[in-house]
Amino acid sequence: MAAGELAEAAIARIERLDPRINAVILRRFERVREEARGGLPDGPFRGVPFLVKDSLCQIAGEPHHAAMRALKDAGYRSSHDSYLGARYKRAGFAILGKSNLSELALSPITDSVAYGPTRNPWDLRCTAGGSSGGAAAAVAAGFVPVAHGGDSGGSIRIPASACGVVGLKPSRGRITLGPDFGERFGQKSCEHVLTRSVRDSAAVLDACAGAAPGDPSIAPPPVRPWRDEVGADPGRLRIGFRTLRADERGWDAPCAAAVASTAALLADLGHEVEDDRPACLDVLEDRSMIETMHVIKYVHVASELARLGALIGRELGAGDVEPNTWSAADAARHVSGVQLMQAMAEQHRYARRLAGWWEGDFDILVTPTLATLPFRFKESGVEPGRLRKLDLSGAGGEDKPLGLATFTGHYNLSGQPAISLPLHWSGDGVPVGVQFIAAYGREDLLFRLAGQLETARPWAHRRPPAVTPVTPV
């Protein structure tokens, strides 16, 4: 199928289905038609329909709002391609537009004052996760086969789990954030894509990974193309797993069941699987890092508001952003330079303690991606920009904690690669992801194991009911 035909098929699907899902917030349909007629670059993905998350990755001349009402109202457009945006162009992707996210990509729920909620194709009453919720929903709904996302604490993996797709957070320094950023959120941020298959994730990493001059972190290069790892024998791995225990409140049983069934599958595949109390758990359960991460987040948000305000020529205030965003920026006023440096140092100490577990005999750690199923949106009384816009009530009327980043943010601190795979579904047909973490730089091992699991427990045949045509009776 020619590039123009691929683009038209994707555009038609978006126009038909996206009014219910709200995954694509900025459309460049006419522009991509012109590009397809004029000839897209002859890269490995020439003509493949693609979406860019409206956050770090920028496309010259296109709107760039980061789900902020102030930038949207100002009509701000990017002055340049980010290095990753240029790589996507060289790879030949047909960029159809920008996907939805939470404001400044700060929340694990995609719902902003500027653009509203992205709904989960598996259950339109539920969140698609976040902050890359628009990307995950678009891939799950079949708008595009691959979409860009970013991850500072789980923002690729969380929506991948919620929407039943593949989401890899690569190693720190694997993909450049330049030229606008060297690091973000204290070295926590990275970018990659959400896909339906493991091979697609590997192939895009082959095309777009690599440092740029001046990058503060540079991941070791692969021994061979990552796509060659998919289908390769991973060997007999030593795997530890962390599941949800009966004495822990706020979790959903399908999330625990997903890890338990995956552990059994791994054992059947010949791997050495440990019980659910690996020695790294004392680090994972160290809650002292939460305040440290908050300190770094507060200062980052305040810095971002100053930077973005300068782009539109005025200082941003409380009335320009959502309440949670302003609360974080306001809290930065009480953080001294010394406190910030201490928080950064503590983050590095924590990362070394965590990553040290992989220096022993273990190859992979398995955890739930999410501790809870995707939350439902309330249909009335909603105040955008506040987490209480979700229905957090569980069985028996007990409130659940937010809990969406419970198992994901640690590996942003350590810089390790982690992937969420759609290996389980709840009794109600909601996807439940399982997360796999390898040592720093070992995406090759993740791709080998993920490919083995995709073959053993395939998911390609599954389609969300919200986008599946109903067969007439």
Residues tagged active-site: 53, 131, 155
* Dihedral angle of Cα 365, 273, 270, 420, to the nearest 10 degrees: -30
Written as six digits, the tokens of 244 are 């949800």
Q: Sort 75 into a burial class: Cβ within 10 Å, 0-12 / 13-18 / 19+.
A: exposed
Q: Cα dihedral sign for 209, 358, 108, 308?
A: negative
**CA gap 122, 127 in Å, rounded:** 10
Alpha helices per DSSP H over 424-466:
443-456
**CA gap 407, 354 in Å, rounded:** 13
Written as six digits, the tokens of 65 are 């709002």
Helix (H) or strand (E) holding 166: strand 166-169
Q: Residue 331, SS3?
A: helix
Calculate helix-pair angle for 3-21, 133-140, nearest 10 degrees.
110
What number of residues does the chain have? 473
